[in-house]
């Protein structure tokens, strides 16, 4: 099948992409790559990147499912973090230009690929798994529909890192402030009726940095590709800590 697009039906878009090859470059730089996209259909930013990669084969970025489920292709798209696979070009392109940079604040491995170690280290600290003290029941730990509902808006996080890397508090203290993604996960387990380690979890968060560095600027909410609200989760933990003290 011939997939060449007739010339009159295409428009040019310039992708300005952050480039860094640790084997070649001492410093990162921006490279402009011009691509042709169909004028009559809306591609996603990931499709545009794939077109750019055809021209510049050394261009590197993570991707996997291509439909906003795996969270691999988080990047900074025209100043705002998002997943390339679910961000339409029509929303992202400004004056025929699209600026793509890696997620802010994390060390760049190559081009748009960042080292997520800091992010996952913080996630590990909140013990993102169910902790129980009772003996395991024969079949399963039951929850009422209402108790299960408490987890809506929390369990859907795909750990893409868009929120934490858009948070200024995380930029300045990536090793001390847990960041919105980890704190959302923390609340996900504190709010879980089956979890039996609420006190220990709250103890771990009760210091000046882990939780209280959040100043509620809501950039995490603004960039979350799944429409989740880490600010609200952080506020819920804060209330729980304050109620515990009083």
Task: Please identify which residue in 5, 10, 62, 104 interacts with another protein, judged by CB under 8 A.
Answer: 104
Q: Does 235 bind another protein (CB under 8 A)?
A: yes
98 φ, ψ (degrees, to nearest 5): -130, 120
Size of the site for another protein (CB under 8 A): 34
Tokens 């990536």, located at residue: 174
Would you state the structure tokens that stand for residue 192, as one six-digit string? 């879980």
53 φ, ψ (degrees, to nearest 5): -70, -25
Q: Does 22 bind another protein (CB under 8 A)?
A: yes
The residue among 137 and 227 lying less far from another protein, judged by its C-beta, is: 227
* Cβ proximity of 15 and 52 under 8 Å: yes
Would you state the structure tokens that stand for residue 68, as one six-digit string? 């906003």
Tokens 């996960």, located at residue: 185
Q: Does 78 bind another protein (CB under 8 A)?
A: yes
239: three-class secondary structure by DSSP: helix
Q: Does 196 bind another protein (CB under 8 A)?
A: no
Strand partners, 11: 37
Task: Please identify which residue in 50, 69, 86, 109 interacts with another protein, judged by CB under 8 A.
Answer: 109
Contact window for another protein (CB under 8 A) among 33-41, 46-54, 108-116, 205-213:
108-116
The residue among 186 and 219 lying less far from another protein, judged by its C-beta, is: 219
Cα distance between residue 208 and residue 188, in whole Å: 21
Crossing angle (nearest 10°) for helices 230-245 and 179-190: 60
The residue among 58 and 222 lying less far from another protein, judged by its C-beta, is: 222
101: three-class secondary structure by DSSP: strand
26: three-class secondary structure by DSSP: coil
Q: Does 107 bind another protein (CB under 8 A)?
A: yes
Q: Which of 36, 34, 28 is nearest to 14 (CA)?
A: 34
CB of 89 to another protein, least distance (A): 17
The residue among 194 and 240 lying less far from another protein, judged by its C-beta, is: 240
Task: Please identify which residue in 24, 27, 133, 245 interacts with another protein, judged by CB under 8 A.
Answer: 27
Task: Please identify which residue in 62, 63, 80, 148 interacts with another protein, judged by CB under 8 A.
Answer: 80
Q: Does 79 bind another protein (CB under 8 A)?
A: yes
CB of 22 to another protein, least distance (A): 7
Strand partners, 97: 14, 94
Q: Does 216 bind another protein (CB under 8 A)?
A: yes
Q: Which of 124, 68, 72 is nearest to 102 (CA)?
A: 72
User: What residues line the site for another protein (CB under 8 A)?
Assistant: 18, 20, 22, 27-28, 76, 78-80, 101-109, 115, 166, 168, 171, 215-219, 221-222, 229, 231-232, 235, 238
């Amino acid at each position: 099948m011939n997939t060449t697009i007739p010339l009159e039906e295409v428009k040019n878009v310039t992708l300005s992409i952050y480039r860094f090859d640790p084997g070649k470059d001492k410093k990162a730089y921006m490279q402009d790559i011009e691509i042709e996209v169909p004028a009559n259909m809306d591609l996603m930013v990931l499709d545009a990147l794939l077109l750019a990669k055809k021209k510049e084969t050394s261009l590197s970025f993570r991707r996997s499912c291509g439909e906003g489920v795996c969270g691999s292709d988080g990047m900074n798209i025209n100043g705002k973090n998002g997943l390339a696979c679910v961000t339409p070009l029509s929303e992202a392109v400004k004056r025929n230009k699209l600026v793509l940079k890696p997620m802010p604040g994390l060390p760049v491995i190559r081009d748009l690929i960042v080292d997520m170690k800091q992010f996952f280290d913080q996630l590990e600290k909140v013990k993102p798994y169910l902790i129980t003290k009772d003996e395991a029941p024969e079949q399963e730990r039951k929850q009422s529909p209402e108790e299960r509902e408490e987890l809506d808006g929390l369990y859907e996080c795909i750990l893409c890192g868009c929120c934490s890397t858009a948070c200024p508090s995380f930029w300045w203290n990536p090793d001390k402030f847990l960041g919105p993604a980890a704190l959302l996960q923390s609340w996900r387990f504190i709010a879980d009726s089956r979890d039996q380690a609420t006190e220990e979890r709250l103890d771990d968060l009760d210091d000046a940095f882990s939780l209280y560095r959040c100043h509620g600027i809501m950039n995490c909410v603004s960039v979350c590709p799944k429409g989740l609200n880490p600010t609200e989760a952080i506020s819920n933990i804060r209330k729980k800590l304050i109620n515990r003290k009083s």
